Each structure stands twice: as C-alpha cells, then as structure tokens.
Structure 1
Amino acid sequence: MLLSRRGRCRQWRRGRPFWGGLFTVLAGAWICVLPLAPLKVMLQQGVAGIPSVLMGAVMIVLGLTAWFSPAQRGLAGVLTTLIAMAALVLSNLGGFLIGTLLGILGGGLMFAWQPFREASPPPAPLPSPTAHQDPQGAQP
C-alpha cells in the first residue's frame, strides 16, 4: 500500500510542473508574510504593506494553478516572473531578495516544463536502395 501511494504521488508530480509550483508558492508565502507584523507596526507602515500581501497571494494562486491546471503553466510562469520582478520594487526588496529569486526560479521552471511522454517505438527500417523487386516475380 505504501509503495502504491508513493507511486501515485510520483506519477502526480511528473504530470505537472511540481517544482516550479512549489518554488512559486514558497516565494508568495515569503513575500506575503514579511509585511505581516504586529498591528502597531502595520499601522505605521500604512498602505505600503497592501501590495506585498496582494502580490504574495497572487503568486500562491499561480503556483497552485500550475499544480492543478498544468495546461496554464506558460501563462502562470510568465505572470509569476513579472510579479516577482515587481515585488523587488514594491515589497521590501521582494522579500529581501529571497522572494524575488524564488519567484523567478519558480516562474522559469513552470514556463520551461514539458509533459512527460512515453518513449515512442523506433520507426520501421526503410528498405535498402540496392534491393530490387522484379515486377514479374523473378528471384535474383
């Protein structure tokens, strides 16, 4: 039972951009959590913390989108990279550069991922050019 569960998890992971989604979710969480401070600090920060929380939440959603809808991985990867770059300017240097680097890595992995395909059988060999078939059935 453990082996079958492990095999199903491996099969699920191979059918989607797992690592890209994971890095994107981690980047979103990192960017989202850093501005969440005690209420006194948040009141002093004002509206500057809102873009951080929103960008982090959108990055988490994009990472989950890559996991549960692999067909949307290209768009999710590009948007993740753009949001990670915007977070560099709008959100505490993108979570002190860690969130931005994780977001760029996750977006790139999502965009570059290709579905796993079984190896196709090799094509049938072509007849050699020296073999000649006589239309009247004579043997060489």
Structure 2
Amino acid sequence: MLLSRGGRWRRWRRGRPFWGGLLAVLAGAWICVLPLAPLKIMLQQGVAGIPSVLMGIVMIALGLTAWFSPAQRTLAGVLTTLIATAALVLSNLGGFLVGTLIGILGGGLMFAWQPYAAPRARGSAASEPASAPAPAPAPAPTQEFEPSPTTAPHQPDPQGAQP
C-alpha cells in the first residue's frame, strides 16, 4: 500500500521521540547561538563561550540521535537533561533559562517516550487452534534459602523487565 507524503511523515514521526528530539535540537541551538550574539546581549565573552557552543552542539547531536536511533532515546534523554542543567551554570544561565528549560523538557520527553504498539486484531486469539498443547512450565530456579510462607509469590513485571 502506498502512503501519501503526509502519511509517511506521520508514520516516521510517530515511530520515534520526535517532540523530545525537536525540543533538544531547539534548546541546543538556543544555547549555542547566544555566545555568538552581540556583546550587549552577552553576559560573558571569549574562552568562556566555548563550553556554550560545545554544549549546544552536543544537545543538537543528542536530539538527532533520538530521531534517527530511537533505541538510544533513554541515554539521549538523560544526557540532554544533564547538559541542559549544566548549561545553567556554564553557559549564560543556560541561554537565559530558556535553553535550560526547553532542554530539560526535551530530555524528559525523550526519556519517557515508548514505541507505539499496534493493537492486536480481535480474531487473533480466537483463530488459534483450541487443541494446541500448553507450553511446559520452566523449571524453578534453585535457591540457597527457603522462602518463608509469608513471602508473596513472584509476580511477573507487566512491562517485561527481567529480574
């Protein structure tokens, strides 16, 4: 099935933390551009402006990483938030607070984003054969101690995390 240009864009955008990456790119650009502003706007100039430019470039790179490698979104989100917070001290109050706030918001959105899972078809459970054998239970792990009777039985994590 051929998708229209808008449909392809929407599908690409929904398959990654788009808004978090966009905010990280905007915050990085804001923090990066301020040291290049006229002296009347700047609070500090010279060698002290180098960290601002470097932090801005790294934030832009992290935003692009979230777009083009969504599997790295967690690391990119955490690093974006840390760099935006560090920019508050190292870079003209984090782009006069604007860059820091946008960067923290973008990092949080990248960190919190989850891939979209397509809903199952209604007939998928009914279409399975009823006579299919149940899988054999996994052998219980050996323990060095006996659990007390008051210990609650192990509940699997609904999000799929491994113990």
TM-score range, shorter chain: 0.7 to 0.9
Q: Give the equivalent residue in structure 1 for 2:29.
A: 29
Which residue does the alignment assign to 1:112? 112
Aligned sequence identity (%): 83
Q: How far has the Cα of 1:4 moved from its partner?
A: 0.1
2:79 maps to 79
Question: What is the TM-score when the length of structure 2 is the normalising length?
Answer: 0.69
Whole-angstrom CA distance in 2 between matches of 1:95 and 1:45: 13
Unaligned 5+ residue runs, structure 1?
Answer: 125-140
Aligned to 2:51: 51
Q: Deviations over 1:40-82 (max 9, x none)?
A: x99x822110000000000000000000000000000000000
Rounded to whole Å, the distance in 1 between the matches of 2:83 and 2:24 is: 11
- Say which SS state the counterpart of residue 35 (structure 1) adopts: helix
Q: 2:103: which partner in 1?
A: 103
C-alpha displacement of 1:121: 3.9
When the two chains are superposed, the root-mean-square deviation of aligned CA atoms in Å is 1.9
1:66 aligns with 2:88: no
Q: C-alpha offsets along residues 78-122 of structure 1, whole Å, 9 cap, x if unaligned?
A: 000000000000000000000000000000000000001111246
**Distance of 2:56 and 2:90 partners within structure 1:** 11
Describe the SS at the equivalent of 2:22. Answer: helix
The alignment covers a number of residue pairs equal to 120
For residues 87 and 46 of structure 2, the distance between their equivalents in structure 1, rounded to whole angstroms, comes to 17
Find the residue that maps to 2:36 and give its secondary structure. coil
1:5 positional shift: 0.1
Unaligned 5+ residue runs, structure 2? 127-163
Residue equivalent to 1:93? 93
Structure with the higher helix share, 1 or 2? 1
Deviation of the 1:38 alpha carbon? 5.4
Structure having greater relative contact order (Cα 8 Å, sep ≥ 6): 1
Aligned structure 1 segments of 4 or more residues deviating by more than 6 angstroms: none
TM-score when scaled to structure 1? 0.80
Q: Which amino acid aligns with 1:29?
A: A
